[in-house]
Amino acid sequence: MELNNAVILPEIEPLSFEVGGMEAIGSNVILFPDSDLKEFLPEFETQSNTYFDTWGCVSHSFENALEALITRQDFENNEWLLKNIYKQGRPNFSDRDLVVLSGTKPSVGNSGNQVLARAKQNGLISQDFEDWDNKSRDPKNTVELYYAYARTPEAEVKAKEFNDRFEIVGTWVQRDNIEEAMKTGAVQVYVNAWHKNNDGKYYNPTGNHNHAVLACGYKYKEIYDTYNPRIKQLSSWNDIYSWALKINIIEKTMSKPNIKQNSLVMLVEGSGGIGLFLDDKIIEDDTAKILAVYIARNASGGEFNNAPVVSLTQAQWDLFDKRKL
């Protein structure tokens, strides 16, 4: 079986990917020591309807990642999540909401960058607000009706509450680094759906990538899909696209990150940015000036020798006052 394309492969920008340990503070905690999150997977939900496909695999696998992370991180003790996101004892976001509002296009799909950006911007809501019945045989349930969707005012309120309480972080990682990335987050990968070899494993005979899934077990090359069988085994990790998206969700707090004096700070979201951390402020100016001052102050034998480089999300960046050089 070969599926129609549903993925727009990402364009990776310099400040949007993981370079060594260059990850946003809070997104590098060990969660899955064995690079295996099968124990925390959400309930299986297909993206295929009785009469059509949603082409929403990027959004579906993105929310599967978040649901697994919430289960793993013991957010069940968070009363707001329990009341507003959990359904029958599990976190469950509305797939249709993210598929449509992130700009997914039938027969085209979507990109990881766009789904990430829209989830961060628009927030997420519970499946209870938009529980589309993909098994319905009502002839009115067409792809046009599926995409003719808008949030209710009540859902908008809950989405804003979600954004006030949680921050979603996305980090692009190279294929060779996904084993390490899977220890600290849930990783969305892009595959060629579907070609099965004589061993029952899925492989990529063409080099194309048309479908997004969640990597769920590194040792046995397992992925969690939105088509049955829900857990598939790849022939090789080399069959996935060369970049993958590591996803994290962080519960927001009012405390600022602890950053060493004279550190170079990098904004790793949106259009990015570089600043110098001094006296609990971020110094913003021309990038060349910032780098020159940082290098000079960290010259061998200098007062601030070996000050680190620290990556910050937008929310973390905004916690600090700013000034010019």
Tens digit of pLDDT for each residue in 53-87? 999 999 999 999 999 999 998 765 688 998 999 98
What order of strands is seen across the sheet that includes strand 166-174?
Answer: 166-174, 243-251, 186-191, 211-217, 222-224, 231-233
CA atoms lying within 13 Å on the CB side of residue 271: 0
pLDDT at 248: 94
DSSP 259-280: --TT-EEEE-STT-EEEEEETT
Given a cut of 80, is residue 300 above it in pLDDT? Answer: no
Given a cut of 80, is residue 47 above it in pLDDT? Answer: yes
Q: Backbone dihedral region of 243: left (phi > 0), alpha (psi from -120 to 50 degrees) or beta? A: beta
pLDDT band with cut points at 50, 70 and 90 for residue 135: confident
Classify burial at 270, counting beta carbons within 10 Å of its beta carbon; exposed 0-12, middle 13-18, buried 19 or more: middle
- Element (DSSP H or E) covering residue 321: strand 321-323
213: β partners: 189
CATH 3.90.70.10 domain span(s) along the chain: 38-251
Quote the percentage of the chain above a pLDDT of 90.
Answer: 61
pLDDT at 226: 96
pLDDT band with cut points at 50, 70 and 90 for residue 19: very low
For residue 194, say if its preceding peptide bond is cis, omega within 30 degrees of 0.
Answer: yes
For residue 31, the SS3 value is coil
pLDDT at 41: 97
Quote the percentage of the chain above a pLDDT of 70.
Answer: 91
Calculate the average pLDDT of the chain. 89
CATH code of the domain made up of 38-251: 3.90.70.10
